[in-house]
Amino acid sequence: MNYVSLDIFDLAVAALLILINGAISVLFSLGIARSLFIAAIRMSVQLAAVGFVLRYVFSQSTLWLIGLIAIAMVLIAGREVMSRQKYRFAGFWGYGIGVTALFAAGFTTLLFAMLIVINPDPWYEPRYLLPILGMILGNILTAVALGLNTLLTTARREQRAIEAQLALGYSWSQASNPIVRDALLTAMMPIINAMAASGIVALPGMMTGQILAGIAPVEAVKYQIVIMFLIAGATALGALIAVLIANRRLCDDRQRLRLDRISAKD
Amino acid sequence: MKWSGMFEARNLHALDFGPYNFTLHPGECLVVTGPSGSGKSVLLRALADLNDSEGEVILDNSPRRSMSGPDWRKKVRYLAAEPGWWAETPAGHFHDAGWLSENLALLGLEQTLAERSVSLLSTGERQRMALLRALEDSPTVLLADEPTAALDEEATAKAEKLLRDFTTRGGILVFVTHSIKQAKAFGNKHLKLERPAERGNAA
């Protein structure tokens, strides 16, 4: 592989561009110069830390360490799902549903990718596993958050319509069918749009990265296509798991709507 | 001889309200009155098993727990004061178009209303559609929450006639109203609710 290695001087020069943002803030008295500065520092420190962590992990390649990092990634993604929701279930379920969906969909897709599609040696080679898991989780996270958010928001908005059907003797699965469909549709729209726009509107980040690293474009494209399919499958699976569990939790053994189980985000 | 077909509430509690106790025979009507916040809707929703409640509700010697929620609600039908809609047109809410068109006239509704968008109907038109919807496929018990609140005098009389026909056929009616005249004209039995006493637990 041939690529231009960046030294610390290159980074410093690139950092100069942030001065444009600073100048705009001062010029229009936006008052964001300080938070801009902090954000720039955070970005640099966080990425540097990730770089060193990855360097260590790549040199170790032990399954338990990689597994531990993978689980931590799922738990952090679960928190992010919860924080993106306007309404959520009280207690354990608020966090549990998202994490369950991320675990089940994320690891199923990951194992499929590592064992069957890419098949590196060893199969858990972290140079492949961790970035792929990251991309999969990031997308499931969005889909699950959108799906749950839509389900709970619509259930509240459509309370009367749902209860009108229940009152007439419709089953919960009949009465909740429209909100479940809405939730699944909303969850799957972003990946469908992303697939349709790939290569025309935007060059996907991973592909760009591989090309920069000196991989032949056609090889990079092959990887990107695989990733897109992995993401599509993972988001569909994750959204389905989350929405079905949540929909079950929205009703009780008497097939009644239980809005008292969800609360607005403080 | 054991009576059959009765609708009974025994020591029923829901939220902060209750206990409620009553027994209704086929063809009887229980009129429920009381100020806002006295738990009238809570009572009806508890009877239909749409709210969590304690105590027992029994229809024809079968407690509600002996059947699924939907099966119970097919027999014990709740008609909300502000009914919800899930399809585009009123007709989309009925199983049997023929039954609907026969019954529209009984409530003074034009046939064409059935195919109009629900959102274009007046409050009174929607209330009458909801009443028909609740009576389709003949429930055993109808729990009607102010079913004539949005109706003018003529439409009210037609709706009352429909409700009376329902009890004449042996239906059991539980009926919330603010109208003293209606309460007197309808009720075999009368349940007067009051706001629960201030209990000092604001939580």
Q: What is the pLDDT of residue A185?
A: 96
**Residue A2: pLDDT band by 50, 70, 90 thresholds?**
low
A38 lies in which domain range?
1-60
Q: In angstroms, how far apart are the furthest CA atoms of chain B?
A: 55
Local structure of B9: helix, strand or coil:
strand
Q: Are A232 and A224 in contact (CB under 8 A)?
A: no
Tell the burial category of B142 from Cβ atoms under 10 Å away from its Cβ (0-12, 13-18, 19+): buried
Beta bridge partners of B78: B143
User: Which residue in B49, B70, B85 is closest to A171 by CB distance?
Assistant: B70
Summarised one tens digit per residue, pLDDT across range B154-169 is: 999 999 999 999 999 9
Window 123-142 of B: residues touching A by CB (8 A cutoff) are 130, 133-134
Q: What is the ipTM of this complex?
A: 0.91
Q: Are residues A26 and A86 in the same domain?
A: no
Based on the structure, what is the number of domains in chain A? 2
Q: Are residues A21 and A150 in the same domain?
A: no
User: Which residue in A158, A170, A256 is closest to B50 by CB distance?
Assistant: A256
For residues A112 and B192, the model is more confident at: A112
Window 35-54 of B: residues touching A by CB (8 A cutoff) are 48-52
State the average pLDDT over residues B41-50.
94
Summarised one tens digit per residue, pLDDT across range A198-236 is: 887 777 888 888 888 889 999 999 999 999 999 999 999
Q: Are A130 and A70 in contact (CB under 8 A)?
A: yes
Q: Are residues A44 and A90 in the same domain?
A: no
Q: Which of A42, A60, A78 is the last residue of a domain?
A: A60
Is B69's CB within 8 Å of A256's CB? yes
Is A254's CB within 8 Å of B134's CB? no
Summarised one tens digit per residue, pLDDT across range B56-90 is: 999 999 999 999 999 999 999 999 999 999 999 99
Q: Is A164 near chain B, with CB under 8 Å?
A: yes
Q: Are residues A37 and A85 in the same domain?
A: no
State the Cα–Cα distance between residues A93 and A95, nearest whole angstrom: 5
Summarised one tens digit per residue, pLDDT across range A123-181 is: 999 999 999 999 999 999 999 999 999 999 999 999 999 999 999 999 999 999 999 99
Is B78's CB within 8 Å of A167's CB? yes
Contacts of A204 (CB under 8 A, 6+ apart): A198, A224, A227, A228
Of all residues in chain B, the one with the smallest CA distance to A159 is B84
Q: Are residues A186 and A96 in the same domain?
A: yes
Q: What is the pLDDT of residue B197?
A: 62
Domains of chain B (ranges plus CATH)?
7-87+123-192 (3.40.50.300)
Q: Are A222 and A259 in contact (CB under 8 A)?
A: no
Q: Are residues A71 and A125 in the same domain?
A: yes
Q: Are residues A105 and A142 in the same domain?
A: yes
State the average pLDDT over residues A114-119.
94
